[in-house]
Amino acid sequence: MATTSADATSSTSTDDLHIRSTVVSDGAAMWTLAHECGLDLNSSYAYLVFAADFSATCRIALLDGEPVGYVLGYSPPERGDHVFVWQVAVSSRARGRGLARRMLDHLLDGHPEGTVLEATVEESNEASRALFAAVARARGGTLTWTDGVLAEHFPDEHPSEPRLQITGMGRPS
Ligand SMILES: CC(C)(COP(=O)(O)OP(=O)(O)OC[C@H]1O[C@@H](n2cnc3c(N)ncnc32)[C@H](O)[C@@H]1OP(=O)(O)O)[C@@H](O)C(=O)NCCC(=O)NCCS
């Protein structure tokens, strides 16, 4: 794998796979992938705004030029050293080849001020839990869980979203 220097604007490419930070025109593909992957779907406008204004903490992956994955993230203003991963999605045709982990590695390597990774993950989402456990393991970090967002916080039917935090991360092994 050829890897360029790790700043927020760098890209990581193999022959057919390309990972980079987002631009506004990626928002439409992010929305489409969120829909395809069965995630809680935000408005299309929300993905456009994130792709444009939170590009330091958002990533898109292109396989043969086609969008196949994204990370939607932000740094909470009061916790600038944290990166909250709101959504991560990989098209079913590109799963199981380390793509989600590579997007998160690309984000963390390109955003070194983000030393703590946060996300909320439903208890039933084994793939997502395995992904974050793999990131913690590979980067020598410590993963802890707290209650996060409880089912009773939601205005609609929604399972609880326990919150994870990964601290003490280094470069991936
Ligand atoms: C979760 C998701 C992003 C993982 O994408 P992916 O590119 O297939 O994941 P990776 O190949 O990078 O795998 C990362 C780790 O998770 C593990 N993993 C991935 N999918 C798994 C699954 N279904 N069951 C168990 N472990 C799984 C991998 O084995 C790997 O661990 P390892 O490094 O120890 O071998 C993808 O399944 C997806 O888009 N799901 C639907 C959307 C979703 O639920 N997103 C998360 C909530 S926002």
**Residue 115 is part of a domain; what is its CATH number?**
3.40.630.30
pLDDT in tens, 36-79: 999 999 999 999 999 999 999 999 999 999 999 999 999 999 99
From the CB of 89, is ligand 1 less than 6 Å away? Answer: yes
From the CB of 95, is ligand 1 less than 6 Å away? Answer: yes
pLDDT in tens, 116-143: 999 999 999 999 999 999 999 999 999 9
pLDDT at 15: 65
C-alpha of residue 4 to centroid of ligand 1, in Å: 24
Is 63 among the domain residues? Answer: yes
Q: Does the pLDDT at position 4 exceed 50?
A: no
- Residue 96: count of CB within 10 angstroms of its CB: 9
From the CB of 63, is ligand 1 less than 6 Å away? Answer: no
- Between CA 93 and CA 114 the distance in angstroms is 30
pLDDT at 9: 52
From the CB of 128, is ligand 1 less than 6 Å away? Answer: yes
Domain that holds residue 109: 2-167
User: Cα 91 vs. chain centroid, distance in angstroms?
Assistant: 14
C-alpha of residue 75 to centroid of ligand 1, in Å: 23
> What would the mean pLDDT of 83-88 be, rounded to a whole number?
98
For the chain, how many structural domains are there in total? 1
Amino acid of residue 39: L
- Between CA 125 and CA 112 the distance in angstroms is 28
Is 67 among the domain residues? Answer: yes
Is 173 among the domain residues? Answer: no
- Between CA 116 and CA 24 the distance in angstroms is 26
pLDDT at 13: 72
In Å, how far are 38, 54, 87, 141 from 48, measured between CA atoms? 19, 10, 14, 32
Amino acid of residue 160: S
Is 69 among the domain residues? Answer: yes
From the CB of 125, is ligand 1 less than 6 Å away? Answer: yes
pLDDT at 1: 26
C-alpha of residue 169 to centroid of ligand 1, in Å: 19
pLDDT band at 105 (very low <50, low <70, confident <90, very high): very high
For the chain, where are the alpha helices, taking DSSP H only?
Answer: 27-36, 44-53, 99-110, 126-138
Two tokens, residue 95: 């799963």
HSE at residue 135, side-chain half, CA atoms within 13 A, is 30
pLDDT at 10: 66
C-alpha of residue 10 to centroid of ligand 1, in Å: 24
